Amino acid sequence: RPAPADSCDVALCSSLVELIDSAQHSIDNAIYGMRNQSRVLAALVAAKQRGVKERGVVDRDREGKNYYTSTDRLVETLGGIESDQKADQKIAKQRARDDFGGEPRCERPYGTQGPVQCLAYDLGDSCLLAAHASHEQLAGSDAIMHDKFFVVDAAAVWTGSTNVSDSCSGGYNANLVVVARSAELARWYTEEFEQMWRGGEFHTLKSSSGHKQVELANATVELRFSPQDDPVRFGVRPLIKQARQRIDIAVFFLTHKHIVDDLIAAHRRGVKVRVVMDSTGARNEYSKHELLRAAGIPVKVEAWGGKMHMKSAAIDGAHVIAGSMNWTSAGEYSNDENTLLIHSDELAGQYHRFFDELWAALPDDLLTANPDPESRRSGTSCSDGVDNDYDGEKDADDPGCGEAPPELPPLLPWRVVPKGDRMTCDVGMDGEASRRSPPPPSTMPPASPKVGGREAEAD
């Protein structure tokens, strides 16, 4: 598709509308918001008119704003829709910690002001060292209600990475949807919904209901909600650690340092690891894709107009990871998210086949490239009406779409150093590992575009 569209002609959307149209009693939904999806809105209105009880929650910041332009219309049309605004305000008053904690153990990268993340990865006889930090100070941003799920008649669930928007359910971005018909799974999603809708409890205010696993006809499904169920610690990472053959990953953001550690360890023990990543996510200053490349793991950064918006993986032809959670610390520790761990040879095989086709379709020069997400290199990004790189400009007005586009600022450096007599890698073993000699101030590149905040989550 050449641009976002107010249409519902792809399975990402039609599967949702079919479920809404089948509703007889109730629809509960938790969505980031809505933009230009008139077919979905019409289906919800029709369901309400035939007597279906509808409730919803959406994301709002402390000022009550939602990123998507049709969200207010959705709320006004349907009613019964709550948000995380009050929870954001409450948490903001309580918050008194730095996510990266205290003074960094490594040297700050030159020209950065944000929190420093010190990194050390074991490559066998050497260590891969780096320090990541944003060029500008990170303002205290709210956690987001980032779920995308519908529960229909307490019997079926629609969920995954797809926002109800012209770019996601409209078919411009790459996404993954899961439709499950299970009363038990629906009950767990309803319990999560009730915490938010009835209790006003979002983000770190929520409580866990314990381990959630159900046997379906073709899969065993585990469900973990963020942040209370620790989906990375107890879901994603254990599956990566037990991998023995192959790991195929398609993600929007990959900034979680511990997941990267597990992927490098899997690669070292002979697992075939491949990653397809979004080009906007790759410009995030905490992105770990260059470290994966340095460790020998092939990573292709897409060059489409739309985004690689999945948060998914398949492992060893037996397991699928899906849901709304980006592979970031915010996705694990603060946002409202849901992650499905699907144990199924059939579905994992389906994902691997999809990934093989995706990998083959992306040219091999993307194994080393970092395409500008708004440039002539990136598909229809210069004509899609979208500010793909979040710099306030789009299409012909964006410098990246000009005849002589400026060079992108370099990503933060990394360094491989010998272990010597050390048994383990340590961030303090080489004080120079976190930076290179800085160029003269007059030649310093501009800061990287801001791609890590609330807006970046929205597409």
Asked whether residue 197 is domain-assigned, the answer is yes
Question: What is the tens place of the pLDDT at every residue in 389-430?
Answer: 999 999 999 999 999 999 998 899 999 999 988 778 987 655
Kind and range of the H or E element at 277?
strand 272-277
* Mean pLDDT, range 24-30, rounded to an integer: 99
Of 389, 307, 251, give the one whose Cα is nearest residue 4. Answer: 307
Question: What is the tens place of the pLDDT at every residue in 96-133?
Answer: 544 455 678 899 999 999 999 999 999 999 999 999 99
Q: What is the DSSP string of 218-248?
A: S-EEEEEEETTT-HIIIIIHHHHHT--SEEE
Domain count, the chain: 1
Asked whether residue 417 is domain-assigned, the answer is no
C-beta separation of 369 from 303 below 8 A: yes
pLDDT at 240: 99
The pair of structure tokens assigned to 123 is 């490559």
Asked whether residue 349 is domain-assigned, the answer is yes
Q: Which domain CATH number covers 153?
A: 3.30.870.10
Asked whether residue 134 is domain-assigned, the answer is no
Asked whether residue 214 is domain-assigned, the answer is yes
Strands 272-277, 246-251: pairing kind:
parallel
Answer yes or no: pTM beyond 0.95.
Answer: no
Asked whether residue 408 is domain-assigned, the answer is no
Measured CA distances, 267 to 11, 169, 263, 276, 329 (Å):
34, 34, 6, 16, 22
Q: What is the DSSP string of 359-383?
A: HHHS-GGGGT----SSSTTSTTTTT
Asked whether residue 307 is domain-assigned, the answer is yes
SS3 (DSSP) at 281: helix
Domain range for residue 255? 11-92+139-367
Question: What is the tens place of the pLDDT at every residue in 208-255?
Answer: 999 999 999 999 999 999 999 999 999 999 999 999 999 999 999 999
Asked whether residue 459 is domain-assigned, the answer is no
Distance, CA of 369 to CA of 279 (rounded, Å): 10
pLDDT at 94: 79
C-beta separation of 171 from 7 below 8 A: yes
What strands, in cross-sheet order, belong to the sheet with 414-418? Answer: 117-122, 126-132, 414-418
